[in-house]
C-alpha cells in the first residue's frame, strides 16, 4: 500500500556522484485567502539544492554566460517561491553552500539567512526587483516579493515503493526519484505577496508536499494532484481523499522506459494503486497533453488488475507559469514546462467486478497542481 510515511526519503540525497552532478528539491504548494477580501490564491515554495561538491564562495549559476560557455556546473541552494493566477510569478533567491546548514540525517532541515525548511515548518522571504530581474537573466527569476511563515502537517503519503528505497538510491538506478510524504497536507500560517497579506488555514489550504532528486529531469514531465475533490455521487466534499500522478519517461540504469506514470488515488480511506513499478498490479497507462489558445489539457487513463482511474484536468494558461530549472550539468533542458496550481477537471474511479467495470464515483477536481513539459535532444 502506498500510504506509508517514510521521512528517510526526505533526507538530503546529494552524496557520492550526485554531490558532483545532482539536485534535490522539496516542493510545497497550497491555497491561502486574502486577509481583506477572503479571495483564494494559490502559492508554491521550493527549496532546491544542487551540486554541493562544486561549491564556491558565491553561488555558481549555470546560466551565467561565462559559466555556460566554460561548462562550469551550477552549485547553490535556490529558494523558489511564487504564485499562480493572472499575476503569476516565480521568484528565485540563491545561496552559496558555505552560507547554509543542511542537516544530513532524518528529519531533514535546511537553514539559510531568513529561510528555513523542515518536515513541519517553512519560513523565508524572496525579493527580486524589476531592475534585478532584467539585469540578471541567469537568475531565471521574475520580479516581486514574497515572505512566509508556515507549519506543515503531512497527512497522506504516496510512497512509490522500492524504486526509491535505499538500495536503489545508492545504486543511482533512476535518473529522477520522487517521494510524496504529504500528497495531502494541511498548512497553517501567513504569506505576504507583494505587500498583500494572506492567511493559510489547515481546513482550507488544500496542501501538497513532495520531493524529487536525481541527476537529470524526465521528459515528458507529468504531474497532476489534488485533494480538493467533490463527489458527484453524494454532492459532498471528500474530506479524506487525494490523487497524485507523476512521471513521464523514467530512466533506470540509463535505459528509458517510455511513457510510464506513477499514480495513486486515496478515496475516503481506500487505496487504489497505479504504480507501474509494482509489476504484480499489471498497470497499464495512457496519457496525453494538449493545449489551445486559452487552456492546457491533460488526459490520463490508468488500469490495474482490479480498478480503472480516468483523469481529465484543464488549466487556464493565463494562470500558469513556464517554470524554470537548470539541470545539474548547467543546461536548460525544459524551456516550455507548463506549471499550474488552479487546475480543474474530473476523476472517475471504476472497480472491476465479474469482468465488468462498476463506477464507484465521479469526482469534480479543484485547485489541482498540474505540470507538463517535454524537451527533444539536439541531433
Q: How far apart are CA 109 and CA 118, in angstroms?
A: 5
pLDDT value of residue 162? 60
- Neighbour tally for 292: CB within 10 Å: 9
The ranges of the chain with pLDDT < 70 are 162-174, 249-259, 376-379
pLDDT value of residue 78? 98
Q: How far apart are CA 165 and CA 88, in angstroms?
A: 36
Domain ranges for the chain: 7-373
Give how far Cα 327 sits from Cα of 73, 305, 375, Å. 9, 37, 12
pLDDT value of residue 169? 47
Q: How far apart are CA 238 and CA 340, in angstroms?
A: 22
Q: What are φ and ψ of residue 329, in 5° steps?
A: -85, 0
Q: pLDDT tens, 101-141?
A: 999 899 999 999 999 999 999 999 999 999 999 999 999 99
269: left (phi over 0), alpha (psi -120 to 50) or beta: left
- Neighbour tally for 79: CB within 10 Å: 23
Q: Which residues contact 369 (CB under 8 A, 6 or more apart)?
A: 29, 208, 223, 224, 225, 226, 340, 341, 343
pLDDT value of residue 104? 87
Q: Which residues contact 280 (CB under 8 A, 6 or more apart)?
A: none
**267: which strand partners?**
270
In the structure grid, which three cell numbers stand for residue 75, read together? 552549485
pLDDT value of residue 173? 59
In the structure grid, which three cell numbers stand for residue 249, read together? 519517461
Q: How far apart are CA 100 and CA 147, in angstroms?
A: 18
Residue 145, SS3 per DSSP: strand
Torsion, CA 182, CA 184, CA 189, CA 190, rounded to 10:
100
Q: Which residues of 237-258 are buried (b: 16+ CB within 10 A; e: fewer)?
A: ebeebbbbbbbbbbbeeeeeee
Q: pLDDT tens, 174-213?
A: 578 999 999 999 999 999 999 999 999 999 999 999 999 9
Q: How far apart are CA 98 and CA 51, in angstroms?
A: 13
Q: How far apart are CA 348 and CA 202, in angstroms?
A: 27
Give how far Cα 266 sits from Cα of 105, 158, 196, 243, 344, Å. 29, 9, 35, 6, 18
pLDDT value of residue 256? 53
Length of the chain: 379
Amino acid at each position: 500500500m502506498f500510504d506509508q510515511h517514510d521521512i528517510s526519503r526526505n533526507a538530503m540525497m546529494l552524496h557520492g556522484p550526485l554531490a558532483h552532478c545532482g539536485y534535490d528539491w522539496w516542493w510545497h504548494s497550497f491555497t491561502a485567502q486574502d486577509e481583506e477580501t477572503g479571495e483564494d490564491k494559490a502559492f508554491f515554495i521550493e527549496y532546491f539544492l544542487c551540486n554541493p561538491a562544486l561549491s564556491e564562495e558565491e553561488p555558481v549559476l549555470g546560466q551565467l554566460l561565462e559559466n555556460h560557455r566554460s561548462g562550469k556546473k551550477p552549485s547553490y541552494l535556490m529558494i523558489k517561491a511564487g504564485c499562480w493566477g493572472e499575476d503569476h510569478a516565480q521568484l528565485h533567491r540563491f545561496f552559496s553552500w558555505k552560507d547554509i546548514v543542511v542537516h544530513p540525517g532524518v528529519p531533514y532541515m535546511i537553514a539559510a539567512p531568513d529561510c528555513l525548511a523542515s518536515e513541519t515548518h517553512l519560513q523565508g522571504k524572496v525579493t527580486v526587483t524589476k531592475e534585478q530581474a532584467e539585469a540578471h537573466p541567469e537568475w531565471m527569476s521574475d520580479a516581486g516579493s514574497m515572505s512566509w511563515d508556515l507549519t506543515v502537517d503531512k497527512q497522506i503519503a504516496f510512497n512509490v515503493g522500492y524504486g526509491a528505497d535505499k538500495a536503489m538510491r545508492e545504486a543511482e538506478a533512476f535518473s529522477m526519484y520522487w517521494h510524496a510524504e504529504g500528497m495531502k497536507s494541511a498548512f497553517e500560517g501567513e504569506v505576504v505577496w507583494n505587500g498583500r497579506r494572506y492567511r493559510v488555514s489547515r481546513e482550507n489550504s488544500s496542501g501538497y508536499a513532495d520531493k524529487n532528486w536525481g541527476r537529470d529531469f524526465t521528459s515528458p514531465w507529468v504531474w497532476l494532484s489534488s485533494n480538493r475533490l467533490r463527489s458527484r455521487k453524494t454532492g459532498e466534499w471528500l474530506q479524506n481523499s487525494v490523487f497524485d500522478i507523476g512521471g513521464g519517461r523514467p530512466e533506470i540504469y540509463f535505459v528509458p522506459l517510455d511513457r510510464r506514470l506513477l499514480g495513486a488515488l486515496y478515496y475516503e480511506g481506500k487505496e487504489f494503486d497505479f504504480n507501474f513499478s509494482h509489476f504484480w498490479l499489471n498497470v497499464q497507462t495512457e496519457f496525453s497533453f494538449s493545449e489551445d489558445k486559452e487552456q492546457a489539457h491533460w488526459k490520463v487513463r490508468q488500469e490495474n488488475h482490479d480498478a480503472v482511474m480516468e483523469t481529465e484536468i484543464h488549466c487556464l494558461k493565463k494562470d500558469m507559469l513556464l517554470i524554470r530549472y537548470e539541470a545539474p550539468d548547467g543546461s536548460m533542458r525544459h524551456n516550455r514546462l507548463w506549471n499550474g496550481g488552479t487546475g480543474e477537471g474530473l476523476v472517475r474511479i471504476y472497480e472491476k467486478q465479474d469482468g465488468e467495470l462498476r463506477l464507484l464515483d465521479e469526482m469534480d477536481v479543484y485547485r489541482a497542481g498540474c505540470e507538463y513539459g517535454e524537451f527533444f535532444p539536439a541531433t
